[in-house]
Structure 1
Amino acid sequence: MKDLPEPRGVRPAARIQAPAAAFGVDSLIALAVGVTVVACLYFASAVLIPITLAILLSFLVAPLADVLTRLRLGHVASVFAAVVMSVSVIVMLGAVIATQLTDLAAGMPRYQATIEHKMETAHNLTIGKLDRFANAAGQALQRATIEPPQPAPQRGAASAGSAHPTASAPAAVPVEVREPVPTPFELARRVLSPAISPLETAFIVFVVMVVILLQRDDLRDRAIRLFGSRDLHRMTMVMDEAARRLSRYFVSQLGLNAGVGVVIGTGLFMIGVPSPILWGILAALLRLVPYVGIWISAALATALAAAVSPGWAMAIWSLALFATVELLVGQIVEPLLYGRSTGLSPFSVVVAAIFWSWIWGPIGLILSTPLTLCLLVLGRHVRRLEFLDVLLGDQPALTPVENFYQRALAGDPDEAIEQAETLLRDRSLSAYYDEVAIKGLQLAANDVMRGSVTEAQLARIEATTNDLVDGLDGYEDREPATSPVQESWSATGPLAPSVSDASENAQAESSSTRSAPAGNAEEDRATNQSPLAASNRVLCIPGRGPLDALATTILLQLLGKHGFTSRAVPHEAASRASIESLDADDVGVVCILYLQIDGIPSHLRYLVRRIRARLPNVSIVVGLWVAEDTEKWSADLQSAMGAECYATSLQEILAACRRVEAARTRTEEELPLVVACGQ
């Protein structure tokens, strides 16, 4: 069963709540910080680009350095060896690209005739047709609007004009400007100046990367001191796990792109496209650009294939190769390697590509996905940066509870049922009601108590919930078959549970194991018994809240699926004036449901007393969903109200009804009802 986030309910302190400020001081501070960060990224790009490249490259080189360290090479020697190997690979790729470009440029004159013929054909099929159509349209328009011919000029005027010839202009003297012969120093400066800036950037990148790899532990400790000194254990786990996942994601992405480049290069070589190694490397590099990178390389390779081949078969085969490889990798290989998604939404990937290319140019476009992925990891694991997860992640913006409440407010039962069917794939029906529907109704009850829900909205909530219950009536209340959990390679997947979380889970399991034996055997026997006994009848009474009747409707459905004969009466049926006329002599269990309640209200205590006086032989189960400490409330409510069982979920109410039924049907020995209810 998946854990769903708890709804952030608001206690109904007043009927009307003053509207919150739409734009306060905190929002202004956050906006100022965001503008400052963007300005720093833009104006300090010369400094930040090398540092960012060094950090991302350190994620790629760190696994190699760790392998060399495990071979007892030494930390410093392992780092320098890993960096040297990485630099060697980059230099080798650069040399291969330069060689391929030189060969391609040298061979282009051989394809000049084919290129000119293809360009002329393309021109005639596109622009040429448009020109001919425009000329025809212009001639037709001219014929439709032609003016009458003007009279010819007189010969005398022409001869008079020719009697005064124009004086001839002096001939222009040609001037030739020659530059002085450059010295060897000036020639070397002209040749090397374009390469000086990239070499400087590369040198800074590798120096910073070496420092990061050498000082990883110290940098981690400083980051913990700055951001997580109050929770050292949790922050350490988050940083180590996030760094490991990011490193593995980048390494696997590099390996996958290299494989795509090998396949593309091999395929183009078999097709006959010139310089296939160049296009394979280009496909591997441009695939870092989201969505459009691979198609840019495909367009260039296809254009070259069309230029060098007299026909169009080579171009068609080249385009088909790119499309097939990208389809297989994107739809089959990547989901198997990373899970269903890396965690980024498609919209955020496109927007991030535009943003980073505006900030840092072409380098920002290539680094947009890794940088956005780093921001998403921070948003997933740092509470103050949670908004990054909302903006960039592919997880739903609303929790299932909030989505249920929003659909109920909008009066859209179809989408609510669709969401429920999706969640029911890995949880039981009662678990869905407890984790989503009941908590969504609690949010609605909070808003009703605060006076922010109109009568029309309340009617839509009731109608949508009733339609949802009717739509889920065909589902059985049982746990679905569980499948083995596979480890996700997604960089933003959930972190492994920390030691404290694991210990808390173990303590919870052990406590539930200690309290279970008193009732588990009875529950198992009660489940297998026939539900035809008179004591198997359950009477449900909703509380006084506006939506307690909806919770009772849900409970009635679940009781029917577990073999109980149940019915509901309105809250007024148990009032002082009507309690004596309540027809419930054949009832064995009375369930009282309250979605929202504060303290130990007297009306609930007196309600239990009235039911006890009217039906002395029934067992009373009270269902309350409260935010306070469950154990304290359980003891206080049970001692104050006199009910046999206090439950905080529908599943606990069902278990209590089964145990009460089991205790009543036993003939060997009588169990105290308070033990039968699991208390």
Structure 2
Amino acid sequence: MAPTPVPTSSATDIQRTMSVMLAILVAVVVTCALYFGREILIPLALAVLLSFVLAPLVRLLQRVKVPRALSVIGVVLMAFLLIAGLGTIMASQVTRLASDLPSYERTIRDKIKSIRGMAAGNGTLERAADVLQDLGKELQKPEAVSNPALSRDQADSKPIPVELRAPESSAFRTMTDLIGPLLHPLATTGIIIIFVIFILMRREDLRNRMIRLAGAQDLHRTTAAIDDAAHRLSRYFLVQLALNASFGVVIGVGLFFIGVPSPALWGIIAAILRFVPYIGAAISAILPMALAAAVDPGWTMFLSAGALFLFVEPIVGHVIEPLVYGQSTGLSPVAVVTAATFWTWLWGPIGLVMATPLTVCLVVLGRHIEQFAVFDVMFGDQPVLSAPEMFYQRMLAADPTEAVEQAETCLEESSMADYLDTVALPGIRLGAQDATRGALEPERMGVVRDSVAELVEDLEELSAVDADASAMPDAWTEGEPHEPIRPRVLCIGVRNPLDEAAAQLFRLLATRRNLPTQALGLESMAMANLFRLDTRGVDVICLSVFETSSPVHIRYALRRLRRKAPKAAFVVGYWLQDNGEHLESLREVVAPATLVTTLADAVAVAQGVLHAPTPEAAAKADGGTEAQPALKEAQSA
């Protein structure tokens, strides 16, 4: 018996599930490797980041004919001597601050008493303080003896003699106690130095290996991508280093003039913590402000230190940085917080400082190398959905509010016709493509249609105060007394709710041009409804359609509507972008009706039939240039 074939949809679902499970497994393995291999990976990551900073200096020395080995060694030694100097300054400042802290005890006690005095009226705080004080006294009591017999036995027992001996002095033990705590930092520093030297010495070889991993089929594109990524990262890190160093200098000098002790220490800490975006500057302000409160008997120093941070950080972050760097880090705010949390959990405090640079590396690589594209999608600040995709997604979610905001933004720079033909109609076109391949159910089509109708209503209110329609002559005509204004243009969706949604967009643009227009759904094409359809005064009938694999239904609809309105001009709006050969064959099928592919062309044909203003006036009124071939064809007809 032959095995039963697996359905295609089931096989696709299984393949998709396996891909997701494989991705999760790879993520878990990589995370475990990062965690358990941090002793080696942290120095390697620091070396890579330092190599991006030092590479421009090495290239600069090579341009002046300095040998590469000498350039690399000189730049690396200069960088680590600078780092060692900063570390020495920080150590001396911390030692001095620790020795001066006891002298600030009285000021701290006075501040606490003043704060407690201000909160004396708060009974809750007082009770909480008393409870904590009693709890502390209880914890400090010696442990009571619970067994009386054991207590008597201990009293009767003889004391155990204890002999104190001085440890034997040893030069080796002394050296071990002194150097032991320094071995790990020195070893890490040595590993970083070795990594940096080899990365800078073998930069071209590493680049070639990256090209091989990324794909050697297109060497030109891959080389350009990697060179651009390296240039962007080097520039970003250099600019960030310069800005953060300047921030630290300004903070240190400001704290010096304010009178806060150890200003150099707080300046260096501020420069380091500013690599942590959003919260780094705020964290660096806590300790110097607390120290200012402990040193000054009043509150002037404390408030001045806080004002210094509040004044300097916005200027550096929101004025100087955009001018110098020209753009943001390329990371979304959520990605920054997520990366900071992830890297801090993996690598501790040093991971918090390195979180943004490491994530920037991944995002830049993702923008140029296909294998890393997932990082650009997850952490980048660029929109991952195009404007039509965003429109279609909001319509599917039955939430046109965001689409209205998008439309308002587009209308500030372009016309309504441009927005409808470049955003809204292509968005519905995506739904038509999903429907063609069976991925969009009829119920979801109805959701899209209803959402588009709600969007059109909101845009009609928006256009009520717009100048586009006011520039056009009035084409509205009233019917009999006590009757509503009769439409002179009908737009009918032929096959499904998506065709009706496009008809709603046509009605919006035509109404904006002062054309009395009505949009109808596919139910109007039924025999009973078509018999009751009122076509008195209708001069133009536009058929809205996306799918034309079998144009028989279009020809049939045209035939029935011509019998109903023999004097009307007919337009077929074919909204799917297709090749010219198919369009020509479809044009022959719908002849003598006019075939158009954009809403602007369809409205232009209706204007031509209704003796609307010239194309130049129409384009001027709409704020943009319209496509003219369809209008010329209508006028010649």
Q: Map 1:479-494 onto structure 2 (within 5 A).
A: none
Counterparts of 1:529 and 1:411, CA distance in 2: 33
Please name the residue that 1:241 is paired with: 228
1:91 corresponding residue in structure 2: 84
Any conservation in 2 of the 1:58–1:209 contact (CA below 8 Å)?
A: yes
Match status 1:543 vs 2:494: yes
| Residue 421 (structure 1) aligns with | 408
CA contact (8 A) 2:497 2:522 kept: no
CA distance in 1, matches of 2:516, 2:126: 81
8 A Cα contact 1:76 1:214, kept in partner: yes
Residue 41 of structure 1 and its aligned partner are, at CA, apart by 0.9
- Find out whether 1:360 has 2:311 as its counterpart: no
1:604 aligns with 2:590: no
**Aligned twin of 1:648:** 597
Deviations 1:386-433 (A, max 9, x none): 443343234556554454444434444444423432343344322332
Question: TM-score with structure 2 length normalisation?
Answer: 0.77
Give the AA of the match of 1:93. L
Which residue, 235, 244, 247 being the options, matches 1:260?
247
Structure 1 residue aligned with 2:144: none
What is the CA-CA distance between 1:313 and the residue it aligns to? 2.3
Alignment check: 8 A CA contact 2:339 2:356 kept: yes
The unaligned stretches of length 5 or more in structure 1 are: 1-15, 139-163, 481-526
Amino acid at match of 2:509: L
Change (3 A) 1:342 1:606: same
Query: Aligned with 2:543: secondary structure?
Result: strand
Alpha-carbon distance between aligned partners in 1 of 2:31 and 2:629, rounded to the nearest angstrom: 68
**Contact 1:265/1:276, CA 8 A, preserved across alignment:** yes
Does 2:223 correspond to 1:274?
no
SS at match of 2:544: strand
**Corresponding position of 2:53:** 60
Q: Is the 8 A contact 2:211 2:223 kept in 1?
A: yes
Greater RCO between the two (CA within 8 Å, min separation 6)? 1
Amino acid at match of 2:86: L
Q: Which amino acid aligns with 1:83?
A: V
Is 1:37 the counterpart of 2:30? The answer is yes
- 2:43 is matched with 50
SS in 2 for 1:211: helix
- Give the partner amino acid of 2:126: K
CA offsets, 1:27-58, max 9 Å, x none? 12212211111111112212211221111112
Structure 1 counterpart of 2:580: 631
Structure 2 residue identity aligned to 1:356: W
Q: Residue 407 of structure 1 contacts residue 413 of structure 1 at CA under 8 Å; is this kept in 2? A: yes
Alignment of 1:451-600 (within 5 A): 453=441, 455=443, 460-475=447-462, 538-568=489-519, 590-594=541-545, 596-600=546-550
Of stretches 127-136 and 35-44 in structure 1, the one that deviates more from structure 2 is 127-136
1:227 matched to which residue of 2?
214
CA distance in 2, matches of 1:107, 1:529: 81
- Call closer, same or farther: CA 1:298–1:593 in 2, change over 3 Å: same
Structure 1 residues 97 and 17: alpha-carbon distance in aligned structure 2, compared to 1, 3 A threshold: closer
Aligned-pair CA distance for 1:285: 0.7
- Within 2, Cα distance between the matches of 1:560 and 1:238? 48
Q: Partner amino acid for 1:599?
A: S
Partner secondary structure for residue 163 of structure 2: coil
For residues 530 and 369 of structure 1, do their structure 2 counterparts lie closer, same or farther at Cα, with a shift above 3 Å needed?
same
TM-score (normalised: structure 1) = 0.73
Superposition deviation, residue 273 in structure 1: 0.8
Task: Report if the CA contact (8 A) 1:477-1:558 is conserved.
Answer: no
- Alignment-derived partner of residue 104 in structure 1: 97
For 2:234 and 2:106, the matched residues in 1 are separated by 50
Give the structure 2 partner of residue 156 of structure 1. none
- Alpha-carbon separation, structure 1, partners of 2:201 and 2:527: 79
Q: Secondary structure at the match of 2:573?
A: strand
Q: CA separation in 1, counterparts of 2:587 and 2:107?
A: 92
Say whether 1:212 aligns with 2:199. yes
Q: What's the CA shift string for 1:455-488, capped at 9, x where partnerless?
A: 5x665544432221121125569999xxxxxxxx
Amino acid across the alignment from 1:46: E
Is contact 1:426-1:479 (8 Å) kept?
no
Structure 2 counterpart of 1:176, which letter?
Answer: L
Pair 1:326-2:275 in alignment: no
Q: Which residue of 2 aligns with 1:129?
A: 126
Q: 1:465 to 1:122 in 2, by over 3 A?
A: same
Cα 1:547/1:224, change in 2 over 3 Å = same
Amino acid in structure 2 at the alignment position of 1:247: S
- Contact kept in structure 2, 1:590 and 1:619, CA below 8 Å: yes
Does residue 176 of the first structure (1) align with residue 164 of the second (2)? yes
Match of 2:6 in 1: none
Deviation at 1:296, TM superposition (A): 2.9
Matched with 1:161 is none
Structure 2: gaps (5+ residues): 1-8, 136-151, 478-486, 616-627
Q: 1:434 to 1:664 in 2, by over 3 A?
A: closer
Please give the residue correspondences for 1:410-449 in structure 2 after superposition, counting only pairs within 5 Å. Answer: 410-445=397-432
How far apart are residue 654 of structure 1 and its match?
4.2
Q: Give 1:77 deviation, angstroms.
A: 4.6
**Whole-angstrom CA distance in 2 between matches of 1:119 and 1:268:** 23
Change (3 A) 1:657 1:27: same
**Aligned match for 1:285, one of 272, 294, 299:** 272
Counterpart of 1:129 in structure 2: which amino acid?
E
Whichever residue aligns with residue 623 of structure 1, its letter is G
Any conservation in 1 of the 2:432–2:547 contact (CA below 8 Å)?
no
Q: Is the Cα contact below 8 Å between 2:476 and 2:515 reproduced in 1?
A: no
Counterpart Cα distance in 2 of 1:211 and 1:590: 74
Match of 2:481 in 1: none
Shift of 1:179: 1.1
- Percent identity, aligned pairs only, is 40
Q: Is the 8 A contact 1:663 1:676 kept in 2?
A: no
- Counterpart of 2:170 in 1: which secondary structure? coil
- 1:25 maps to 18
Quickly say closer, same or farther: Cα 1:322–1:577, change in 2 above 3 A: closer
8 Å contact 1:540–1:556 — kept in the other structure? yes
Tell me the C-alpha RMSD between the 2 structures. 4.5
What per-residue deviation string (whole Å, max 9, x for no partner) do you get for residues 651-675 of structure 1?
3434566688899989xxxx99797
The corresponding residue for 1:11 is none
Q: Is the 8 A contact 2:551 2:589 kept in 1?
A: no
2:189 to 186, 194, 202: 202
* Contact preservation (8 Å) 2:448, 2:501: no
Give the aligned residue type for 2:170: P
Separation in structure 2 between the aligned mates of residue 448 and residue 621 of structure 1, nearest angstrom: 24
Q: Which residue number corresponds to residue 521 of structure 1? A: none
- Offset at residue 557 of structure 1 (A): 1.8
Letter aligned with residue 197 of structure 2: V
Q: Out of 302, 308, 318, which is 1:315 matched to?
A: 302
Paired residues of 1:430 and 1:650 also in contact (CA < 8 A): yes
Counterpart position of 1:348: 335
Q: Distance in 2 between matches of 1:561 and 1:59?
A: 56
Residue by residue over 1:528-584, the C-alpha shift from the partner in whole angstroms, topping out at 9 and shown as x without a partner, is 9967699x9654333222231221121122123335454456657678999999887
| Cα distance, 1:27–1:643 mapped onto 2, change above 3 Å | farther
Letter in 1 for 2:582: W
1:372 aligns with 2:332: no
CA shift, 1:222, in A, is 2.1
Distance 2:81 2:489 in 1: 78
Deviation at 1:175? 2.0
